C-alpha cells in the first residue's frame, strides 16, 4: 500500500522556529530534545499540512513566531503524492494555501489525499472529556476518511446557526424554522451515516488493539447518536422539539449532540476505567483510526506520536512499537531521550534545541 510521505519540510517563523529545513526518513523519525525546545511545534507544523488545523486548537496568530508577521510551512511529499508541494502562509491577514505553486481552494479531496493521525498527551480527553472531545475525534477522522464530510459538516453548521438565530426571534417565524429543519435533517442524516460507517469500520480494530495492548477483553466502542436514524427521524425530532428549543433558544437535539462510548470489561471507560486503561483506550482508538483510514483512503496515514513514551508504561510501549514495526508508514516520534525509542533500523534522529533542528 502507498503511504503519505513527507520528503522535505521547510519552516519559517513557526512558533519558536526561525528557519529550518529537514529531510525526513520515509520510515521512522525520532525527534529528541529537552522540554520546551520545539519538538511538539515541529509535529504541529506537519499536522497542519494534512489538516489545516492545529491539534492544540491554537489560533493562527499564536503559531506565528512572536515578533514576526507571517509564518510559512512548506512540505514536499513523495510516494503516492510524489512531487506534491503544499505551502501554508499564515499571519494577521489570514491564511493562504498554495499547492504546487498555485493558490488552492481546499476541498474534501485534499484532506482525503493526505491522511495523518496524531497521538498526543492531550488526547486523553477523548476518554475523560465531554462528548465534544469525542465528536472532535470522529470529525477529524472523517474529514480525511470521507471526501464529502467536510461539506456536510459545514452546511450543517451553517443551518444550525441560522435555526438558532430564528429560535431567538419573537414572534417565532415558523416558516423560516421549517425550512431550516429540512436542511438540518438532510445534512444531519449524512453526518450520522458517515459517523456510523466510521465507527463500524473502527470497532473490530479497536477491540483487537485493546486485546493485544492491554489484554483487555470485552472492550468495545459504539456510536451514540443523539437521534437514531436518517432524515425522517431527525426531521420529526426537530419538529417535536420546537417548544423546548424555543424556550432554550437553541437546537437541543441533532448530530451536534452525538456521543461515542468506550467500554472496558463491559463498563463505560470514562467513569470506570483506571488511568492506565484509559490511556490504552486512546491508543487503541488511534490504532483503529489508522487502520480505518488505510481502508477508506487507500494509503497508510502519516503518524505523529508526541511524547508517547512518557505517557505509556513499558508493556504498552512494547506493544505500540511492535505495532509500528508492522505498519509500514512514515512515523514521527518526539521524546526527551532518543534511546527511549526501541526502533533499530530505518530511523533518522533529529535533535531539537531552542528552535533549531540538527540531524544526527
Ligand X SMILES: Nc1ncnc2c1ncn2[C@@H]1O[C@H](COP(=O)(O)OP(=O)(O)O)[C@@H](O)[C@H]1O
Interface segment toward ligand X; rule CB under 6 A; list 64-72, 95-103, 184-192, 285-293: 64-72
Nearer to ligand X, 33 or 329 (CB): 33
Sign of CA dihedral 105, 109, 325, 213: positive
3 state SS for 244-284:
HHHHHCCCCCCHHHCEEEEEECCEEHHHHCCHHHHHHHHHH
359, 9 contact by CB (below 8 A): no
Nearer to Mg ion, 40 or 71 (CB): 40
What's the min distance (Å) between Cβ of 99 and ligand X?
25
Residue 105 CA to residue 112 CA, distance in Å, equals 14
Query: Which of residues 28, 30, 38, 254 is near ligand X by CB under 6 A?
Result: 38
Contacted by 66, from ligand X, Mg ion, none: CB < 5 to 8 Å by type? ligand X
The SS3 assignment for 92 reads: coil
Cell triple for 43? 509535529
Contacted by 93, from ligand X, Mg ion, none: CB < 5 to 8 Å by type? none
Task: State yes or no: residue 41 binds ligand X (CB under 6 A).
Answer: yes
Task: State yes or no: residue 33 binds ligand X (CB under 6 A).
Answer: yes
Task: State yes or no: residue 16 binds ligand X (CB under 6 A).
Answer: yes
Contacted by 29, from ligand X, Mg ion, none: CB < 5 to 8 Å by type? none
Phi, psi of 174, deg, nearest 5: -65, -35
> Dihedral, CA atoms, 225, 231, 234, 236, nearest 10 degrees?
-150
What's the min distance (Å) between Cβ of 91 and ligand X?
12
Locate all alpha helices (DSSP H) within 11-51, ordered by sequence: 39-51
Distances in Å between the alpha carbon of 300 and those of 79, 243, 296, 320, 336? 11, 48, 10, 16, 27
Task: State yes or no: residue 187 binds ligand X (CB under 6 A).
Answer: no
Task: State yes or no: residue 277 binds ligand X (CB under 6 A).
Answer: no
What's the min distance (Å) between Cβ of 2 and ligand X?
30
Query: Which of residues 3, 27, 65, 76 is near ligand X by CB under 6 A?
Result: 65
Residues of this chain that interact with ligand X (CB under 6 A) are 15-16, 33, 35-41, 62, 64-66
Amino acid at each position: 500500500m502507498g503511504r503519505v510521505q513527507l520528503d522535505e519540510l521547510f519552516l519559517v517563523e513557526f512558533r519558536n522556529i526561525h528557519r529550518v529545513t529537514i529531510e525526513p526518513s520515509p520510515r521512522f523519525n525520532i525527534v529528541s530534545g529537552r522540554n520546551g525546545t520545539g519538538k511538539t511545534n515541529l509535529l504541529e507544523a506537519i499536522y497542519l499540512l494534512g489538516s489545516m488545523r492545529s491539534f492544540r486548537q491554537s489560533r493562527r496568530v499564536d503559531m506565528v513566531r512572536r515578533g514576526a508577521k507571517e509564518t510559512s510551512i512548506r512540505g514536499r511529499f513523495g510516494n503516492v503524492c510524489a512531487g506534491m508541494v503544499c505551502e501554508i502562509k499564515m499571519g494577521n491577514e489570514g491564511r493562504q494555501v498554495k499547492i504546487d505553486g498555485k493558490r488552492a481552494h481546499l476541498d474534501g479531496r485534499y484532506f482525503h489525499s493526505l491522511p495523518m493521525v496524531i497521538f498526543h498527551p492531550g488526547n486523553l480527553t477523548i476518554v475523560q472529556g465531554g462528548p465534544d472531545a469525542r465528536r472532535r475525534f470522529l470529525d477529524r477522522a472523517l474529514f480525511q476518511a470521507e471526501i464529502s464530510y467536510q461539506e456536510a459538516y459545514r452546511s450543517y453548521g451553517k443551518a444550525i446557526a441560522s435555526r438558532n438565530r430564528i429560535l431567538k426571534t419573537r414572534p417565532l417565524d415558523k416558516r423560516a424554522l421549517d425550512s431550516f429543519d429540512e436542511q438540518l435533517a438532510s445534512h444531519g442524516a449524512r453526518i450520522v451515516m458517515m459517523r456510523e460507517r466510521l465507527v463500524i469500520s473502527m470497532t473490530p480494530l479497536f477491540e483487537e488493539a485493546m486485546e493485544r495492548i492491554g489484554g483487555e477483553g470485552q472492550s468495545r466502542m459504539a456510536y451514540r447518536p443523539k437521534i437514531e436514524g436518517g432524515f425522517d427521524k431527525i426531521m420529526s425530532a426537530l419538529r417535536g422539539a420546537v417548544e423546548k428549543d424555543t424556550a432554550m433558544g437553541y437546537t437541543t437535539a441533532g448530530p451536534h449532540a452525538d456521543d461515542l462510548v468506550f467500554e472496558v470489561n463491559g463498563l463505560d471507560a470514562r467513569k470506570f476505567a483506571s488511568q492506565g486503561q484509559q490511556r490504552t483506550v486512546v491508543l487503541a482508538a488511534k490504532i483503529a483510526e489508522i487502520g480505518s483510514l488505510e481502508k477508506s483512503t487507500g494509503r497508510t496515514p502519516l503518524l505523529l506520536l508526541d511524547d508517547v513514551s512518557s505517557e505509556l508504561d513499558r508493556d504498552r510501549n512494547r506493544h505500540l512499537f511492535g505495532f509500528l514495526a508492522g505498519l509500514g508508514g512514515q512515523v514521527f516520534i518526539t521524546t526527551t531521550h532518543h534511546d527511549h525509542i526501541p526502533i533499530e533500523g530505518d530511523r533518522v534522529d533529529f535533535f531539537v534545541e531552542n528552535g533549531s533542528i540538527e540531524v544526527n
